[in-house]
Amino acid sequence: MSEILVGAISEFPDNDYRILDIDGFEVGVFRRGDALYVYENRCPHFGGPVCQGKVLKRVEERLSETQASRGLRFAGDEHIICPWHGVEFDLKTGRNFGHAQYRLRKIPARIKDDEVYLDIPE
Amino acid sequence: MNATGGSSKRRPRSLRDLPKIDRSSDTRDVLAHAAKDAERLRDYFIIDIDAHVTELAFWSEITNLIDSDVYRHIAAEMRQRSAAIPALMNLQPGLTYQGLAGRIPHDDGPRENAAEPGVHPQVVLTRRAMDSMGIDYMVVFPTPMLQLGMHPQPEVEIELAHAFNRWMTETVLPQDQRMKGLVYLPYIDPEAAEQAVREFGDKPGVIGFTVCSTRYKPVHHNSYMRLYAMMQELGKPLAFHAGYHWGDPAMLQINRFIGMHALSFVQFNMLHVTNWVLNGMPERFPKLKTVWVESGLAWVAFLMQRLDAEYVMRSSEAPLLKRLPSEYIREMYFTTQPLETGNLKLTEAIFDAVNAETQLLYSSDWPHWDFNPPNSIADLPFLTEQQKRNILGLNSARLFNIEVPKKKLAVPPAAPGKAG
């Protein structure tokens, strides 16, 4: 494991994301305020470039008190979506909503002195 | 900094941004991970038996080849009135859901720059996909034309089929010998289908025939017997490519694309295989090889068991059969995509049931939303090395009489993020 300096925090726009190739190891860096969520750019489904896809809100189906459907709406939490097949992962946990085995590999990250460091596997 | 990792602190030797993938992304960027995975398959010979052209992107080229001057005129007028509704086509509800509302951009294209001097853009796109996935030969089918069997106007299917066959054999296939095609049979009209066999069956790059099988035409109807005899005589296989039809009375009660797509493809393959077997077509045309395309494989095992169970009680209703239905089905060919792997024990049993070692053909379905790269087969833990090689290419080479080259034809593409 190496702690790698990948740049100043100012180079990572808030509410956005960058995908980096660091010495051949690919990660997606998603910034939300002071928090960084970093994952390996590889989908557990078929190995697709998951972090290079879109980020969209989770879709939920609302129900009435009688369990009747009240239609589809976007929920508050965000999903990272693999562009190969549309597999979705919670941006903050890296977990797939319905398939417990599908989980993104989390890469430890920290901000020190306004610089971003990632723990990249050797 | 890390108590367990024995870590070191450093700046990267190389650091670069990778692009976000959207509708205009280069195929080589979209498939960059597939290219990395393909590096370990460099000594595999790979034939993709089911990929697709995006014919609507070249619809004016195709409709300008319509034989009837009246329908050519209608198509030209329709094109001028609306670019969003392709001239003469019967677009089905569902096609616009393929890209999952922008989540899967490559199924909403192509919008990438595919301009290369002297090369047709469709050939450029297919080459990029082949090279990225390490595929040596790619057999290409149409996309929305798969649903032409539901068109209310038989003459439109006949005209568009002829125009598409001309476009494929005159414009696309001559530009790259790694691209292969199947003659689109206008199955709505047996005589027109026979004419297509005569006119296009021996064209360079044509390795067989296809029925886009989303349709309500019984495959055992007497009017097709001469057509099957012609194809058997030519010695080229007949592929039934399934598709969906959300307007089918059974499918009308399904409210989500996922459910309709999961069932409707399989429905048509099951209907046609059932009719093909129970009416003794393998006995009538024993040398005509059939391929059943794009429904995964789980349905095949179900159908084998189901038909066998009923046949032993009701063999009088299928008097042309000399063996169990499953024995005929085991001699058919099937394509892999979309491969079901949620339960690998089941997958292994199904591979055994369909005699995958000799009868199963790798297919990607690129560029569609549920495509499978070659590692969908190469990574299966229960296959032997030889079985992987057979499924990925050697079975197709034998079936379609394609020579296995001495060295790999696929060329590794440009590095990720540097395409274009």
Cβ-count burial of B250 within 10 angstroms (0-12 exposed, 13-18 middle, 19+ buried)?
Answer: exposed
Q: Name the residue of chain B whose CA is nearest to A54's CA.
A: B103
Which pLDDT score is estimated for B6? Answer: 53
Q: Name the residue of chain B whose CA is nearest to A108's CA.
A: B2
Say if the Cβ atoms of A85 and B104 lie within 8 Å. yes
How many Cβ atoms from other residues are within 10 Å of residue B256's Cβ?
Answer: 10
d(CA B305, CA B167): 42
Question: How far is A92 from chain B, CA to nearest CA, in Å?
Answer: 19
What the block records as the tokens of A30 is 């998603």
What the block records as the tokens of B84 is 């969003």
Strand partners, A119: A3
Which pLDDT score is estimated for B95? Answer: 87
Say if the Cβ atoms of A22 and B19 lie within 8 Å. no
Say if the Cβ atoms of A20 and B18 lie within 8 Å. yes
Q: Name the residue of chain B whose CA is nearest to A28's CA.
A: B18
Measured over the CA atoms of residue B343, residue B347, residue B350 and residue B352, the dihedral's sign is negative
Q: Residue B63: what residue type?
A: T
Question: How far is B194 from chain A, CA to nearest CA, in Å?
Answer: 39
- Judging contacts by C-beta atoms under 8 Å, the chain A residues touching residue B369 are 85-86
Question: How far is B19 from chain A, CA to nearest CA, in Å?
Answer: 7
- Judging contacts by C-beta atoms under 8 Å, the chain A residues touching residue B6 are 1
Cβ-nearest to A23 among B5, B12, B17: B12
A45 part of contact set with chain B, CB < 8 Å: no
Q: Name the residue of chain B whose CA is nearest to A56's CA.
A: B103
- Judging contacts by C-beta atoms under 8 Å, the chain A residues touching residue B256 are none
- Judging contacts by C-beta atoms under 8 Å, the chain B residues touching residue A21 are 14-18, 416-417
Contacts of B409 (CB under 8 A, 6+ apart): B136, B137, B178
Question: How far is B375 from chain A, CA to nearest CA, in Å?
Answer: 8
Say if the Cβ atoms of B12 and A5 lie within 8 Å. yes
* Regions of chain B short of the pLDDT cut 50: 1-5, 416, 419-420
Q: What is the pLDDT of residues B311-336, one digit of tens each?
A: 999 999 999 999 999 999 999 999 99
Contacts of B122 (CB under 8 A, 6+ apart): B53, B54, B57, B58, B114, B172
A113 part of contact set with chain B, CB < 8 Å: no
Question: How far is B158 from chain A, CA to nearest CA, in Å?
Answer: 34
Say if the Cβ atoms of A1 and B100 lie within 8 Å. no
Cβ-nearest to A47 among B8, B102, B375: B375
Which pLDDT score is estimated for B108? Answer: 85
Residues 54-93 on A with a CB inside 8 Å of B are 54, 56, 81, 83-86, 88
d(CA B236, CA B202): 10
Helices (H) and strands (E) in chain B, counts: 17, 10
Question: How far is B376 from chain A, CA to nearest CA, in Å?
Answer: 7
Cβ-nearest to B30 among A83, A86, A88: A83
Question: How far is B75 from chain A, CA to nearest CA, in Å?
Answer: 34
Strand partners, B360: B334
Q: What is the pLDDT of residues B270-287, one digit of tens each?
A: 999 999 999 999 999 999
Q: Residue B413: what residue type?
A: P
Peptide bond into B413 cis (omega under 30): no
Cβ-nearest to B369 among A6, A86, A108: A86
Interface test with B, best of A4, A12, A55, A119 (most B CBs within 10 A): A4
Say if the Cβ atoms of B17 and A18 lie within 8 Å. yes
Q: Name the residue of chain A whose CA is nearest to B14's CA.
A: A23
- Judging contacts by C-beta atoms under 8 Å, the chain B residues touching residue A7 are 15
- Judging contacts by C-beta atoms under 8 Å, the chain A residues touching residue B376 are 46
Interface test with B, best of A54, A59, A69, A113 (most B CBs within 10 A): A54
d(CA B175, CA B170): 9
What does the pLDDT profile of chain A (122 residues) look like in tens digits?
Answer: 889 999 999 999 999 999 999 999 999 999 999 999 999 999 999 999 999 999 999 999 999 999 999 999 999 899 999 999 999 999 999 999 899 889 999 999 999 999 999 999 98
